[in-house]
Each structure stands twice: as C-alpha cells, then as structure tokens.
Amino acid sequence: MSAKADAGGDNMIEAEQFAAPFTHLALVVAALAPTLIEIDPNVQIVLVSTLCVIAGAYRSVPIARDGGGEVMTKGDAQKFPLLGSCVLVSAFLAFKFLPKSWLDYAVSAYFGALGLVSIGGVLTPVVHGILFKGKSLRSYELFGVPRVRWLNEERWTFECTAAEVAAYAFAAVGVLGYVKTKYWLTNNALGMAFALQGIEFLTIDSVQIGSILLAGLFVYDIFWVFCTPVMVSVARSFDAPIKLLFPRVSMSAIATADKPFSMLGLGDIVIPGLYVAMILRMDNARRAAAAAPRKSVTRSESKRAATASRTVNHDAGDVPTYFPAVSLGYLLGILTTIVVMNVFNAAQPALLYLVPGVLGATFLRAAFAGKGEISAVWNFCEGLEEAQAEREAERVAAEAKKSS
C-alpha cells in the first residue's frame, strides 16, 4: 500500500525482489521452534535475534539503493538517547498513574494499526512472488487527498495492488489474533515485523554516525537498567509487542507457570541491526568502487564539509569485507548477555555487550585488514561516492562534448 503524488495514468507494479529468502525461512523456523520441539529459550534468543539482524540488513540494501527510508543525521543520533529516555519515563508514569484498562485499549489500538502496516509490508513481496508468480500487477487507487495549501503541493493518492490486498488480509488475521488473545506467537510476529521494517527503512549512512548512536544508547541502557527500576518495570508492565517472548516451559505449562517467558527488547535487535545493515551496504559500495576505481568522498567533522580524498587501493576481488565479522560481533554480544544474565540471575542491559561487540569487530577487522583501513572505514559515508562519480561522469561528458 503506497501514498504518492498523483502523476496520472495507469500504474503497473513489478514484483519486489525478496532479499535473503533462506535467512527469512530460518528466522520463521527459529521463531516457531518451541511449538515443534523442546528448545532452550537462550538458544532461541540467540537464533531469532541474530537472524533478525541479518535479514533486516539484507532488506535494507534495495531500500537504501533506491533512496527510500529515513536517513539518520548526526544530530538525530545525538538526540536519540534523550528522546528514548523521555518516552521511557512517560511510559513508566503512565503505568503508575493511569487506569490499566485505558492503557490496554490505547496500546492495542496503536500497535494493532502499526502491526497491520508492518506485517503487510513484510508479507507483500512474499505474496507477490508466490501467489501471483512475480507478475506485474496493476495498482488501483483507493482514495485521494486533494491539494491543501501548506500541506501538499500536489494531490496525493493512496494505491494498492492485489498482492498488497492479500498480504494485508493475512496481516489483519494476525493482528486480530494478537488483539484478542495477546498470544506469545502473535506478539512475536508483530515484534519481528517491527524489527525487520525498522532496520529496513531507518538508515545510518556512516560509521561515525553509527558510533555516536551506539555510544549514546550504550550509556542510556546501562543507566536505565542498573541505576533505576524504570526500564525493567516498563518491560514487564507493557503488554505490547515491544519485546519478543521466548517460552521457558513447555507449551502446556505456559498458562500456569509463574515466569513462563524470557524476554528480549526490540531495541536490542533494531539498534545494532541498523549499524550491521550499514556495514553490509558499505561492503557492497566498496566492492563496487574497487571494480570501477574512482575518487571517493569521505565525511569530515561536519557532514556539510565533506571533501574528496583517495580510498585505500584494492582490486575488486581483494576488498576487505566487514559484514561477517560485525555479524559475529553481534552474535558474541548476545551470547555474552545471556551468560552474564544467567550467572547473576538479573536483567542485563544488552547494549552493554552488543555495542562493544559490533564496534570492536569493525575496528579489529580493519586493524588486521592492513594499513589505512581504519581511516577508510571511519571516513566512509554511504552515497557520497555515487554522487562524486556522477559529477565526474558529467565533467568527462562535458569535456568530451567541448572537444568534439
């Protein structure tokens, strides 16, 4: 389902390429595992969280390539921990002073609507490829918003294809199941959809911005978990798909168990996942640049002061890759979280272990990759290389035209 300026004429929509299908399949199997076999919740946490991060990273590639999604600026990254703290305290006060029934209705309505959009977005390329065999489909207008001064310069139309209708119908069934039962599987379906879409559509475009974001949330997570009861209280009180649930007992014993679930907050997937996704796109961009050597652009202290410089010279097949190392760093971080949590039998701020895991993996890999790699990775800025290449191509074309 899409909203866009009205351009008139018929619209045919081609099937989107479904990124990393086997990773998504493995994620579904890992999520459903407790209903099929007995599985330790710690093992399931590791599998589901890591597969979510990897699947989300691959989903982000075409979105960033096509200029979609929302790009996080340096200022956004700096303010993120403060905004997160305001939301967290507001939720804590709401649960403390407002009637629980009011909150239940508001939370169900909000996350139900958000879940419908998220699950529908995740399922659309699957439905398009399977039910409609990847054929181009006509996009039909549902309704339009007329041009309103100060709001929109052109008339907006809201359109959908048959594949989107089918996908959102499936999504509606899942959302209704969640709203009526709050069953752990439907909670996790919504939560994983939120995580995948968050990593897919929110973009970090440089290691520097990613480091600022992770460093700020590293402090945020430690403070709110170790220094106050706020985060743990909200996580336990907030009956919403902002966390994934992993059964600690058999399916038949869930209803009667005192503490039937282990939990993992979506932030412990999405925040490191944004960084891991950027690293995957960095690998792709650097391989492409090495295949067609040219000047690249790096970020200076201010993004507006970006200047041209030379990258480390590599052959196309010899460019160091960082995605496997950083994915492993995430895996080791989540494993460390679980080990410490079980040893001390207390809630742990997962970012305390995940942030050093992904950032440490990045710079250790760069240190072993050779001279100049740390600087090259630190100064990488997604998209600026392409912009410089376009300017170079325009300059060469202009010179060729003059000489002719």
268 is catalytic: yes
Is the backbone of residue 194 left (phi > 0), alpha (psi -120 to 50) or beta?
alpha
CB distance 268 to 49 below 8 Å? yes
Residue with tokens 């359109």: 159
- The dihedral built from the CA positions of residue 359, 365, 370 and 373, taken in this order, carries a sign that is negative
DSSP assigned state of 206 = B
Calculate Rg over the CA atoms of the chain. 23
From 40, 205, 268, 315, active-site residue: 268
Q: First vs last Cα of the chain: how many Å apart?
A: 49
Closest CA to 269 of 367, 174, 338, 196: 196
82, two tokens: 């403060």
- Spell out the residues 6+ positions from residue 2 whose beta carbon is closer than 8 angstroms to its own: 139, 158, 159, 160
CB distance 366 to 374 below 8 Å? yes
CA distance linking residue 398 with residue 404, whole number of Å: 10
From 221, 258, 283, 318, active-site residue: 221
17, two tokens: 């390429």
74, two tokens: 């340096």
Report H helices in 202-317. 207-222, 230-237, 267-291
**Which residues are designated catalytic?**
221, 268
